[in-house]
Amino acid sequence: MLDQARRLAAAIVSNSPGGVQLSKRALQANLEISSYAAALELENRGQALLTRTGDMPEALAAFKEKRQPVFTGA
């Protein structure tokens, strides 16, 4: 069980810090959102914000170069 938790934690921290933060906020907010449309709007807004971070070019470069990204949280 502890090994599974560690693998999950490693998978989470390998992502963009901003993406993880916005995902956590969306999960919390969606507990109170009453419609699917509102939940989608919240997710779309988060995605749009993340395209303006310094991690976005790194994500695209890593994908193109077929390597793991190195996110800085910028």
Q: What is the band of 11 on the pLDDT scale with cuts at 50, 70, 90?
A: very high
Whether pTM > 0.95 for this model: the answer is no
Residue type, 39: A
Residues 25-54: tens digit of each pLDDT: 999 998 888 899 998 999 999 999 999 999
Please give the pLDDT value at position 34.
83
The CA distance from 52 to 65, in Å, is: 21
The distance from CA 53 to its chain's CA centroid, rounded to whole angstroms, is 12
Residues 13-25: tens digit of each pLDDT: 999 999 999 999 9
